[in-house]
A and B are shown apart, each in its own frame.
Chain A
């Protein structure tokens, strides 16, 4: 199977092509084309993963371009990381394809939607299979295109158009870094091949300064794609896309591509302490920064978007603390529970037709399946013991502690507290209490939507057990087998970390419950506490006001500042350049006046100028 793993991305590509050409005739049946073909690629991916458990890494390459002494190759590689990512991507994609059949029902442009999904899945799988940076870069851009098309799917909405543009531009900024880093690496090592680059790093063929510089530049690309500070702002805006898209692209796969890139190039990063530290700091800061913003959002998808940014920060922190396994582990569990949360949120939106959580409430009784599934996702992301997020987050905290950055560790713990708090705030406001606005026809989503959620729900519970301190670190052992440069298979952190993590997460949940869940309990339980009620109420406002005053106004101030830069500096330059080019074009077309004399004269003038230069410089320019 591994020898033919290149077939996997061809399934979604085929789906894209079929729907592009025949989509209008297939109409809603397009969904079946997409679902069946991604299902095929999922089955294939799983088979490849199982084979990879026992077989060694398979790599196949062929000459792609020979120019002079330059030989570029193209091919694919199935190593542990690739095989795992393939399954994650195929699985989430397949589930999202299925889910969309219900969610997008009735939309006229279903074939287009599924065609874009196919294109994106193809690009993402191609990215994962790439054995060299050049190929990675091509697919990297292609996933960007897929994301752009899908965010702007409702292109008649101004916000969606703006968001698509913003996403494209912000990630492009990062891509420039990646491109420059890639070219510099090629210059230094004479190869785009991962293996060749790692070899050069191992053998010291590339100096320490160059390693740091190229690693940081490549990390800039990852920052853009994974929505890390300061290039994170596009991700919450990207929520303008259809919700299944948010689940697939902006939660589980594409935004994780930045983390994947750092993981795939880990031996390069690991060779530079500066690079690792930068990643860890950016990751930790993003984790707490985005989590704090998530505390005050009222749009259900935006809360989840900030949560994604924050969780990606966690993964970066893990990688930056040399916790390769922790980062990849969390990447996997996060893909499952965050996709679940988005799909469940989509199910809620589907039922109540609003995204504002202030207008929701009391949906637990009405959405009998979505509610519990959302709760599972919330418990998992909050790090409640025995669910998947608990184990991977614990691994990250241990890695951060062992990495010797107590401050970053502290930030991560606080972020974990925030995460538990805002996730349960979300849960309580949506599902408990009384409906805060009139809602008619609220009904559970059809089976085609709930089934994918159930699958993800199961995975959100159990996927953590592949790597636990209690039942063995199977995933870690497997990921690092035969490769010393990836670090330890797991980090043996002190036992109290797990207890702290648990306590922090429970504290967050408890606080959220006191503030937002109290409405359902105020009559019997809260009144019994008497005076405490006042303080808690006060505290609730205090927190919201606090963030209103600090984080929000700070963000606002920053956004004004950035907007200022954007308006006058960036836009000014862009307008200036565009105006200059336009003016040039205008002048040029004026000279082109249709008079053949002018044309001849121009040729003579051109010749004369060159001859004069030639004569004045004594024959030669040099």
Chain B
């Protein structure tokens, strides 16, 4: 490839990625040369500034027509743009939490890494949103994963944190192996890693035997990627890792990493299996045939997450199960494959971003202050700090899906998706309703602690600025998206043109 060809690409469309990459590199160098005694907190603020700049760059390209670099290894389409907003916004809020994170032990030597590893992880996630080639998608996935492994174990001297990183790596390795094995089938059948190329080859697939193999490949890719979503059967790492990891990392895993997982699944499965006929040209695509398997996974995930959450006494473990359950809800949107699928997934991820990160901000504050992550630490929060309690109340109501909050609208979107289309998913929707009711028990358990239990101590909370900003943004967004959901939905409709460029 000549230099002219290289120069002919519109490298400008990668500006957000470049910004993150440059700042991450810069911070890692600075960390090396800066005296040990200097506070690394400033890294966090630089990181936030970089993300804000990346958001601005992305916003500037919002109406940019679809463009690609190097044979689709990087592509900028409507899908990647709107989802990258979620990744960037989530990471910015997580970094704000990280800046306010002051654990009692274990982080003396690794403050610098703590900040820029979030950026490299974010970079990986952004590549996952913006690539049309299996190789780069996989590299993005690994970049995200490996950064996350280190982040989970960043409290070097904390045994829980170590355990969590270890479990995360091992499970991640297994999942990667399965995913790659599935992808190798696809490559073997088509001889290309380019998603468009694959789709083109498979569209004319005549032999049903190949479709059979592709079905197996689908299952393996899907199960492998379920790891990132923390969906069944690859959910079991989540509680242990969430509990052991530093709280901002847990927040990152439950929001940004999960969103990246959904982005990847949607991109890969839709591009490859959404166009491949199952039985000769003209027959229905494989993806529609596999709907029942996705539904099965979605149902199992919702049930497992919500039911086991009932028995948790550790707030981070509880939120791990809650996060499994929410992955199940979003999978319902994916399983129904309706025409509102993108809207529903995007909106739910957006709502989940705010309500979950807000909740984690409170969790971080309370557990750090009390030195314990037991739910009973929330007892009497209303007496001790009414504002904090009110904020947490709103966020939890939203997680539970109460009217007037973003979580409610998110669930309504998914419901509508499940009920429309040629074959409505009544069973799946019923499971979703039933498990949502189950989730009331543990969500309201927290609310009972906050509002109706006497406080063990009377001390008030000093809310650090970072957490205050996160909480304000999250609560405001949760309420606004709940009352005026069209602010977000219109934004998406106006700039995506129905995602028609998804497969172009």
Contacts and interface: CB of A to CB of B under 8 A. Distances in A.
A602 B215 contact: no
B489 A599 contact: no
A150 to B, nearest CB: 16
A106 B340 CA distance: 56
Residue in A24, A138, A606 whose Cβ sees the most chain B Cβ within 10 Å? A606
A603 B171 contact: yes
A589 B311 contact: yes
B339 A68 contact: yes
A543 interface: no
Contacts of B476: none
B166 A592 contact: no
A67 B215 contact: no
Nearest to B303: A584
Contacts, number: 121
Contacts of B240: 594
Interface hub of B175, B310, B490 (most chain A Cβ within 10 A): B310
B239 A592 contact: yes
A525 interface: no
B14 to A, nearest CB: 33
Given A599-B237, A600-B174, A622-B289, A589 B308 contact: yes
B94 to A, nearest CB: 25
A617 to B, nearest CB: 10
Contacts of A598: 236
Contact of B175 (A63, A141, A584, A603): A603
Contact of A611 (B216, B278, B340): B216
A554 interface: no
Interface string A574-590: 00000001101110110
Interface residues of B, number: 58
B171 A600 contact: yes
Interface of B is mostly: helix
Given A65-B409, A68-B340, A607-B220, A581 B289 contact: no
A596 B223 contact: no
A585 B219 CA distance: 27
Contact of B227 (A138, A603, A605): A603
A620 B278 contact: yes
Which range holds the interface residue count of chain A? 35 or more
A230 interface: no
Contacts of B215: 614, 619-620
A65 B308 contact: no
B429 interface: no
A620 B171 contact: no
Interface stretch (B30-38, B57-65, B102-110, B412-420): B412-420
Interface string A166-184: 0000000000000000000
B113 interface: no
A613 B227 CA distance: 21
Main secondary structure of the interface of A (DSSP, over half): helix
A207 interface: no
Interface string A137-150: 01001000000000
B304 A588 contact: yes
Interface in A1-55: 20-21, 24
B216 A614 contact: yes
Given A63-B486, A596-B171, A607 B219 contact: yes
Given A141-B403, A606-B223, A607-B178, A67 B236 contact: no
B289 A607 contact: no
B234 A603 contact: yes
Q: Which interface residue of A21, A581, A591 has the most chain B CB atoms within 10 A?
A: A581
Interface string A91-115: 0000000000000000000000000
Interface of A: 20-21, 24, 63-68, 70, 138, 141, 581-582, 584-586, 588-589, 591-592, 594, 596, 598-600, 602-607, 610-611, 613-614, 619-622
Given A68-B340, A596-B237, A603-B233, 18 more contacts: A65-B485, A67-B489, A70-B416, A138-B403, A138-B404, A141-B403, A581-B307, A596-B166, A596-B167, A598-B236, A599-B236, A602-B236, A603-B174, A603-B236, A606-B234, A607-B220, A619-B211, A620-B289
> Which are the 3 A-B pairs with shortest beta-carbon distances?
A606-B233, A599-B236, A588-B308
Interface of B: 166-167, 170-171, 174-175, 178, 208, 211-212, 215-216, 219-220, 223, 226-227, 232-234, 236-237, 239-240, 278, 289, 292-293, 296, 303-304, 307-311, 338-340, 343-344, 386-387, 390, 403-404, 409, 412-413, 416, 420, 438, 484-486, 489-490, 493
